[in-house]
Structure 1
Amino acid sequence: MTKNEKCRTVRASAAALLLAMLVSGCSETAEQTSGGEEEVSIPMVLIVDSSTGIKNEEELITEFNRIYDGKWQADVQWIMETEEEYRQNLKRQNVTDTLPAVITDLRMLPAFYYMMIQDGRIEELTEYINEDEEWTTMIEPAVLESCSEEDGSIYLGPISTAAFSCSGMFWNEELFAQAGIEKFPETWEEFWECCEQLSACGITPLALHTEGTAWAPMLIATAEAASTEEGAAFMNEFYPDTYQNESGLRIAQTLQKLFRYTTEDALYMDFDVSYDNFFSGQAAMIPNGYWMMDQIPEEWQDKVRFSPFPENKMVSSPETFGWAIVSGYSDEVKEGAAALLKLRTQLNMEQREELFAKDPEEMIPAERDYIAAYKNGPQLVPNYQVKWNSILQEKTLGEILPDLAQGKMTPEEFTAREDESIAQFMEEQ
Structure 2
Amino acid sequence: MRRILGPTMACAACALLAVPAAAQETEVNWATFWVGTNPLKPWGEALLEGFNAEYDGQYEIVTEEIPGDKQYRDKMRADAVADALPDLITGNTALMKDLRDSGRVVDLMPYLEADPEWRDSFFDNAFDTYLTAEGELYALPYSRDYIGIFYNKAMFEEAGIEEFPRTWEAFFEACDTLSAAGFIPMATEGDWTTRLMWANMIGTQPGGAEWLSTAGGEGDLELVGNAPVVAGTEMLRRMFEEGCTNEDAFTGQYATGATLFLQAEAAMIANGPWMIPNIKGVNTETAEGLGEDVDYAVSPGAGDERGLIIVTGEAGFAVGAKEQDKIDGSVAFLKYLTSDEQMLNQAVMVSRFGPTRMELSEEQRGQLEPMLLDIVAESEDVQHTYPHTNITMPTSIIQEFINSWPVYARGQIDTETFLEILEDAQ
Would you call these one fold, judging by a TM-score over 0.5? yes
| C-alpha distance in structure 1 between counterparts of 2:205 and 2:393, whole Å | 19
Deviates more, 1:250-259 or 1:299-308: 250-259
2:333 matches 1:350: no
Task: Find 1:208's aligned residue among 188, 193, 196.
Answer: 188
Partner of 2:76: 90
| CA contact 1:45–1:79 (8 Å) conserved in 2 | yes
Q: Does 1:38 align with 2:15?
A: no
- Residues 348/143 of structure 1: CA separation in 2 closer, same or farther (3 Å cut): farther
Cα distance, 1:301 vs structure 2: 0.9
Match of 1:20 in 2: none
Work out whether residues 305 and 365 of structure 1, in 8 Å CA contact, stay in contact via their aligned partners in 2. Answer: no
Q: Which moved more, 1:102-111 or 1:399-408?
A: 102-111
The residue that corresponds to 2:402 in the other structure is: 398
**Residue number in structure 2 paired with 1:275:** 258
Q: Identify which of 176, 192, 210 aligns with 2:156.
A: 176
Mapping of residues 207-286 of structure 1, within 5 Å:
207-210=187-190, 214-235=191-212, 236-238=214-216, 240-245=220-225, 246-259=227-240, 260-286=243-269
- The one-letter code of the counterpart of 1:305 is D
> Residues 146 and 376 of structure 2 are in contact (CA less than 8 Å); yes or no, is this contact kept in structure 1?
no
**Residue of structure 2 equivalent to 1:385:** 390
Is residue 96–residue 139 contact of structure 2 (8 Å, CA) maintained in 1? no
- Secondary structure (helix, strand or coil) at the match of 1:302 reads helix
The more displaced of 150-159 and 38-47 is 150-159
- Structure-2 change in CA distance of 1:149 and 1:398 (3 Å): closer
Match of 1:30 in 2: none
Q: Which amino acid aligns with 1:190?
A: A
1:316 lines up with 2:310 in the alignment: yes
8 Å Cα contact 2:187/2:245 also seen in 1? yes
User: Alignment length, in residue pairs?
Assistant: 376
Which runs of 5 or more residues in structure 1 are unaligned? 1-34, 423-429
* TM-score normalised by L of structure 1: 0.79
- For each residue in 1:54-93, what CA deviation from the matched residue of structure 2 results, as whole angstroms up to 9, or x when unmatched? 3662211111101000000111112212x22212211211
Deviates more, 1:256-265 or 1:125-134: 125-134
Q: How does 1:299-378 map to 2 (within 5 A)?
A: 299-310=289-300, 311-326=305-320, 328-346=321-339, 347-351=341-345, 357-358=362-363, 366-374=371-379
- Bigger mean CA offset, 302-311 vs 136-145: 136-145
TM-fit CA distance, 1:256? 0.8
Which whole-Å CA distance do the structure 2 matches of 1:356 and 1:205 have between them?
38
Aligned-pair CA distance for 1:332: 1.2
Runs of 4+ aligned residues of structure 1 deviating over 6 Å after TM superposition are 359-362
Partner of 1:134: helix, strand, or coil?
A: helix
Cα deviation code 1:13-51 (max 9, x no counterpart): xxxxxxxxxxxxxxxxxxxxxx98210001111114443
Q: 2:149 and 2:197 mapped to 1: Cα distance?
A: 9
8 Å Cα contact 1:47/1:56 also seen in 2: no
What is the CA distance between 1:168 and its match in structure 2?
Answer: 0.9
Separation in 1 of the partners of 2:187 and 2:409?
14
| Cα distance between partner residues in 1 of 2:333 and 2:138 | 15
Paired position in structure 1 for 2:54: 67
Q: Per-residue deviation at 1:151?
A: 4.2
Identity of aligned residues (%): 24
Query: Whole-Å Cα distance in 2 between the matches of residues 410 and 145 of structure 1?
Result: 35
| Distance apart, 1:330 and its partner CA | 1.5
